[in-house]
Structure 1
Amino acid sequence: MLEKLELEAFLTLAEELHFGRTAKRLHVTTGRISQIIRRLERRVGGPLFERNSRKVTLTALGKQLRDDLRPAYDQIAAGLAQAIATTRGVRIKGVVRVGFTAPWCGNLVVKAADLFRARHPDSVVEIEEIQLVDPLGRMRANEVDLQLTEFPIDEPDIVQGPLMFAEPRGLLVPVDHPFAGMEAVSLEDLGDATLVTIASEHVPEYWMDHYFPRRTPSGRPITQGPATQFWPEVLVHVSMGVGVSTVALRAKDFHSRPGLSFVPLRDAPPIDYGFLWPRTGLSPVASAYLDIVHELATPVR
Structure 2
Amino acid sequence: MERHEIEAFLTLAEELHFRRTSERLGLAQGRVSQTIKKLERRIGVPLFERTSRHVALTAIGAQLRDDLLPGYRQIQHAVARATEAGRGIGGTLRVGYSGPMVAELILKAAEKFRARYPGSDVRIQEVQLSDPFGPIRSGQVHMQITERPCSEPDLTMGPLVLSAPRALMVPDRHPLARRTSVSLEDFAEAPLVAIAGAVPPYWLDYHYPQHTPAGRTVPRGPTAMYWAELQSLVAAGAGISPACATAERYTGRPGITWVPFHDAPPVDFGFLWPASGETVRVRAFVELFPAID
Deviation for aligned residue 1:264:
0.7
Structure 1 residue 156 and structure 2 residue 153: aligned? Answer: yes
Q: Which of 207, 213, 224 is the aligned partner of 2:209?
A: 213
Deviations 1:187-222 (A, max 9, x none): 11111111100114x111110000000111111111
Partner of 1:267 in structure 2? 263
Question: Given residue 210 of structure 1, which amino acid in structure 2 is its aligned partner?
Answer: Y
Partner of 2:19 in structure 1? none
Determine helix, strand or coil for the equivalent of 1:90.
Answer: helix
Structure 1 residue 254 and structure 2 residue 250: aligned? Answer: yes
Structure 1 residue 278 and structure 2 residue 274: aligned? Answer: yes
Q: 2:129 and 2:113 mapped to 1: Cα distance?
A: 26
Q: 1:120 and 1:161 mapped to 2: Cα distance?
A: 21
Query: Do the aligned partners of residues 189 and 125 (structure 1) sit closer, same or farther apart at CA in structure 2, a change above 3 Å counting?
Result: same
Partner of 2:10 in structure 1? none
Deviations 1:219-250 (A, max 9, x none): 11111111101111111111111111000111
What are structure 1's unaligned runs of at least 5 residues? 1-85
Correspondences of 1:49-198 after superposition (within 5 Å): 90-91=83-84, 92-198=89-195
Q: 2:124 and 2:246 mapped to 1: Cα distance?
A: 21
Structure 1's consecutive aligned runs of 4 or more residues displaced over 6 angstroms after TM superposition are 86-89
Q: 2:102 and 2:149 mapped to 1: Cα distance?
A: 16
| RMSD of Structure 2 on Structure 1 (CA) | 1.7
Deviations 1:65-97 (A, max 9, x none): xxxxxxxxxxxxxxxxxxxxx999812312211
Q: Is the 8 A contact 2:93 2:282 kept in 1?
A: yes
What TM-score results when the alignment is normalised by the length of structure 1?
A: 0.67
Partner of 1:244 in structure 2? 240
Q: Is the 8 A contact 1:95 1:285 kept in 2?
A: no
Deviations 1:157-210 (A, max 9, x none): 00111212200001001111101110111111111111100114x111110000
Partner of 2:48 in structure 1? none
Q: Is the 8 A contact 2:81 2:117 kept in 1?
A: no
Determine helix, strand or coil for the equivalent of 2:131.
Answer: coil
Q: 1:286 and 1:269 mapped to 2: Cα distance?
A: 29
Deviation for aligned residue 1:281:
3.8
Deviation for aligned residue 1:288:
1.4
Q: Is the 8 A contact 2:94 2:143 kept in 1?
A: yes
Question: Given residue 254 of structure 2, which amino acid in structure 1 is its aligned partner?
Answer: P
Partner of 1:44 in structure 2? none
Identity %: 43
Partner of 1:204 in structure 2? 200
Query: Do the aligned partners of residues 229 and 87 (structure 1) sit closer, same or farther apart at CA in structure 2, a change above 3 Å counting?
Result: closer
Q: Is the 8 A contact 1:95 1:123 kept in 2?
A: yes
Q: Which of 205, 210, 221 is the aligned partner of 1:225?
A: 221
Q: Is the 8 A contact 1:133 1:230 kept in 2?
A: yes
What are structure 2's unaligned runs of at least 5 residues? 1-78
Q: 2:80 and 2:236 mapped to 1: Cα distance?
A: 60
Q: 1:107 and 1:134 mapped to 2: Cα distance?
A: 21
